[in-house]
Amino acid sequence: MFTGLVETMGEIVEIVDDPPGKLLRVRSSMVFSDAAIGDSICINGCCLTIVTLDGEVADFEAGQETLSRTNLGKLVAGDRVNLERSLAVGSRMGGHYVSGHVDTLGELIERTEDPPWANLRFRIPTQYASQVASKGSIAIDGISLTVVDADDDSFTVALIPHTLAMTTLGFRNVGDAVNLETDLLAKYVQRSLGLLSDDQIHDPKLNSDA
């Protein structure tokens, strides 16, 4: 489990073919300084496991499913990625609960600079749009953000200077793909409502204050 508070950006050192997936070699002096093989690290919002560790460079295995359904499959050597270590029990909880299980890819469709801030609009597949609400939480490339407004197929966020400087959203361009994870609570609410019949939803006994 993660918080969506990115600790630092790492660098992709190398992408190695490892059929049926790939091996991602990532450099970070900060995040890997006290890491160990088997630790979970959130990379652009994806929870991956350290399989080898050599100083400030760690290797992660990414399967075909991960590569095809997230933007990790588009990474090349030299790219920067958002990194966060897993949440320690008893730590202060900033951001919101992020599982590291990406729901879908979104697309940056509009970027409006308001120095030193920026306002970004992302397109989201309609089947996930119902899980995004104004003033709710969403993880974009592993970054916990508050939704400003949302419609049937897109939403906006406002980025403070710190987020722009410390995460990959600082240099994302229109057309770029981003990893999206909607709020866990929204998923459970939608699932629960989906299991209720129309009669149950409109039953006055279930909707009364008694």
pLDDT digits over 30-81, tens only? 999 999 999 999 999 999 999 999 999 999 999 999 999 999 999 999 999 9
Give the span between the Cα atoms of 66 and 49, in whole angstroms: 13
114 bridge partner residues: 117
Predicted TM-score of the model (pTM): 0.88
**Encoded tokens for 137:** 């939480």
Q: Contact at 8 Å (CB) between 97 and 184? A: yes
Whether the upstream peptide bond of residue 161 has omega within 30° of 0, thus cis, is: no
Q: Report the length, in residues, of the chain.
A: 210
Tell me the per-residue pLDDT of 106-152, one tens digit each, with 9 for 90 and over: 999 999 999 999 999 999 999 999 999 999 999 999 999 999 999 99
Give the span between the Cα atoms of 149 and 21, in whole angstroms: 37
- 160, pLDDT greater than 80: yes
Distance from chain centroid for Cα 41: 12
